[in-house]
């Protein structure tokens, strides 16, 4: 076999194998799909294959590496579907770098066995591929390997250009897009869509700013302190398992009973992807209208997308704006994004001590204490937005004790629910945080208001296998020291919550948004 024919044969075999690898996916894309999707797959595979051969000189090894990379994506996809009910999307490329920087957050969802198998497979492919496959005799000859590689790259580029010209309307529903287009084409089209500017959308905070110009230096004592807590994985699990003690959420029940508004919150995330709910709350924008930017809006914000926000609106009203997140500031680029969203100060994990931890993360009690200190020391109205971490998964890495079961359940839970017990242990601490904040805000000389909500339901696939999965909404409550109301539960979407909160606090009138 000549060096040139080896390049083309290895490419053909690898491309065919890439189609077979897709058959292991969940959900499984059908063979029948638009011709442009297959052209994009051939183009992407061919470019990757050609560049590797150009760099390494080993076409069969290059084919193995590209197929192995695709297999890694399929394995990650299947793990994500299992844990988060969503296929792999183009914005998830950060998972790979984040898994290196924050392995405890990501690798356990993949499974230590899968992670080890991937690592061993990559090492084996490198060692065997470079040792077994002979070096080409005419690597840099146009009549040999170099000519074949350049021809392959040109052909791949033409395939990619032809496939990209086929009109495709993405739904930005990950499952529908991956089934309709296949893995590679759905990632390609998604990535291209994300390069376009976000749509121009009417923001309730932008209109409110224009409609209600105020003196930004007004330190009126009537302006209330505002505290919003996005509680990690907070929802009411008592509907899943009747044996859970009602008192696990006693403080939340009391908060809801005296709230200005409470009920269920439809959030744009399941099990993770906190920033989607976070951005919806802060921006007042419906994620369904964001298109490709709905998966991680902070990419666009960091790239210069000017977004009117709750923090900016309150800053205009004379508030000091503070964000608290007890995790490294660079995660999800929050250190770059939050100043752009209108926050004066961002407090990350560096402000907390090792003693503040409850389990692997900073506990909710420590975050409550930090909020209290900020509010009590502030001579001007302050808006504090806290994003907690205590109940962040993977929960199954922690261990439940017999004492936990006795404290959290009336009767023992069904088999397979140990993760639920861990979750309830932390949920009870979140509930205690509510009580601590109500007490401290009630002492304030300035009126105060608390907005409490969950970012998403927790990822507990084994528990849901045993008990059934929740529908997806979390819980919320809006409470004020000024007044209490007996209200019936209502259903809101995450992007509506901040506007309703400000209306209840008397800081925003009726606006068209």
Residues 164 and 294 occupy one common structural domain: no
CA-based nearest residue to 115, from 76, 61, 70:
76
Query: Rounded to whole angstroms, what are the CA distances from 41 to 157, 161, 242, 297, 316?
Result: 11, 11, 49, 27, 49
411 CB neighbour count, 10 Å cutoff: 10
Helix, strand or coil for residue 382?
strand
- Residue 217's pLDDT is 45
Residues 411 and 356 occupy one common structural domain: yes
Provide the CATH number for the domain around residue 406: 3.40.720.10
Strand 261-266 and strand 490-493: pairing? Answer: parallel
Helix, strand or coil for residue 177?
helix
CA-based nearest residue to 499, from 305, 272, 308, 269:
308
Strand partners, 262: 477
Q: pLDDT by residue for the chain (513 residues), tens digit each? A: 788 999 999 999 999 999 999 999 999 999 999 999 999 999 999 999 999 999 989 999 999 889 989 988 998 899 899 999 999 999 998 777 776 677 767 666 666 677 676 677 667 666 666 667 777 887 888 888 999 999 999 999 999 999 999 989 899 999 999 999 999 999 999 999 999 999 999 899 986 665 554 444 445 557 999 999 999 999 999 999 999 999 999 999 999 999 999 999 999 999 999 999 999 999 999 999 999 999 999 999 999 999 999 999 999 999 999 999 999 999 999 999 999 999 999 999 999 999 999 999 999 999 999 999 999 999 999 999 999 999 998 998 899 988 999 999 999 898 989 999 999 999 999 999 999 999 999 999 999 999 999 999 999 999 999 999 999 999 999 999 987 777 799 999 999 999 999 999 989 875 443
User: What is the domain extent for residue 408?
Assistant: 204-468+479-495
Token pair listed for 275: 């920033």
Residues 124 and 272 occupy one common structural domain: no
Residues 146 and 278 occupy one common structural domain: no
Dist CA 382 CA 386 (whole Å): 13
C-alpha dihedral, 504 to 507 to 508 to 509, nearest 10°: 80
Please indicate, yes or no, if residue 502 is contained in any of the structural domains.
Answer: no
Please indicate, yes or no, if residue 508 is contained in any of the structural domains.
Answer: no
DSSP 8: H
Dist CA 72 CA 66 (whole Å): 10
CB 293 within 8 A of CB 194: yes
Return the HEC string of 211-267. HCCCCCCCCCCCCCEEEEEEECCCCCHHHCCCCECHHHHHHHHHHHHCCCEEEEEEC
Residues 184 and 217 occupy one common structural domain: no
Residues 455 and 333 occupy one common structural domain: yes
Residues 189 and 208 occupy one common structural domain: no
- Residue 109's pLDDT is 64
- What total number of domains does the chain contain? 2
CB 270 within 8 A of CB 458: no
CA-based nearest residue to 23, from 77, 86, 102, 92:
77
- Residue recorded with tokens 């990350």: 348
Last-in-domain residue among 142, 164, 194: 194
- Residue 108's pLDDT is 67
Residues 178 and 216 occupy one common structural domain: no
Residues 140 and 249 occupy one common structural domain: no
Last-in-domain residue among 194, 218, 243: 194
Residues 175 and 210 occupy one common structural domain: no
- Residue 485's pLDDT is 72
Dist CA 509 CA 196 (whole Å): 34
CB 203 within 8 A of CB 311: no
């Amino acid at each position: 076999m000549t060096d040139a024919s080896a390049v083309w044969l290895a490419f053909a075999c690898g491309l065919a194998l890439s189609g077979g690898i897709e058959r292991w996916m969940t959900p499984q894309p059908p063979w029948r799909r638009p011709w442009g999707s297959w052209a994009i797959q051939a183009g992407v595979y061919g470019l990757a294959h050609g560049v590797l051969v150009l760099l390494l000189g080993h076409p069969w090894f290059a084919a193995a590496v590209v197929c192995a990379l695709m297999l890694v994506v399929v394995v990650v996809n299947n793990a994500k579907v299992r844990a988060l009910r969503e296929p792999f999307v183009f914005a998830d490329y950060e998972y790979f770098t984040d898994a290196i920087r924050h392995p405890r957050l990501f690798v356990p969802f993949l499974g230590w066995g899968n992670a080890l198998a991937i690592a061993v497979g990559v090492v084996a492919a490198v060692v065997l591929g470079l040792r077994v496959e002979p070096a080409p005799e005419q690597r840099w000859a146009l009549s040999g390997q170099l000519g074949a590689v350049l021809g392959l790259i040109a052909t791949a580029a033409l395939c990619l250009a032809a496939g990209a010209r086929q009109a495709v309307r993405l739904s930005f529903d990950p499952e529908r897009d991956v089934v309709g287009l296949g893995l590679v084409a759905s990632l390609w089209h998604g990535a291209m869509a994300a390069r376009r500017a976000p749509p121009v959308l009417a923001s309730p905070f932008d209109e409110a700013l224009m409609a209600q110009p105020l003196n930004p230096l007004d330190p009126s004592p009537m302006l209330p302190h505002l505290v919003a807590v996005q509680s990690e994985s907070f929802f009411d699990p008592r509907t899943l398992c009747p044996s859970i003690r009602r008192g696990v959420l006693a403080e939340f029940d009391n908060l809801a009973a005296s709230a200005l508004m409470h009920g269920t919150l439809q959030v744009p995330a399941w099990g993770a992807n906190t920033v989607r709910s976070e951005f919806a709350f802060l921006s007042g924008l419906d994620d369904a209208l964001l298109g490709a930017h709905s998966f991680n809006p902070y990419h666009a914000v960091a790239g210069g997308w000017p977004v009117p926000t709750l923090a900016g609106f309150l800053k205009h009203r004379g508030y000091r704006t503070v964000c608290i997140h007890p995790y490294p500031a660079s995660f999800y680029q929050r250190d770059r994004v939050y100043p752009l969203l209108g926050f004066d100060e961002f407090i990350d994990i560096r402000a907390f001590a090792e003693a503040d931890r409850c389990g692997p993360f900073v506990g909710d009690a420590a975050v409550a204490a930090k909020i209290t200190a900020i509010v009590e020391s502030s001579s001007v109205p302050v808006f504090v937005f806290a994003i907690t971490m205590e109940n962040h998964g993977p929960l199954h890495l922690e261990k439940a004790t017999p004492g936990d079961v006795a404290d959290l359940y009336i009767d023992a839970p069904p088999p397979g629910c140990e993760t639920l017990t861990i979750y309830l242990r932390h949920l009870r601490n979140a509930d205690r945080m509510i009580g601590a904040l109500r007490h401290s805000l009630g002492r304030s000389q300035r009126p105060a208001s608390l907005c409490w909500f969950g970012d998403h339901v927790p990822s507990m696939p084994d528990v849901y296998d045993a008990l059934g999965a929740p529908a997806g909404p979390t819980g919320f409550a809006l409470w004020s020291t000024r007044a209490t109301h007996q209200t019936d539960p209502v259903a809101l979407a995450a992007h509506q919550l901040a506007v309703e909160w400000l209306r209840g606090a008397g800081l925003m009138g009726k606006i068209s948004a």
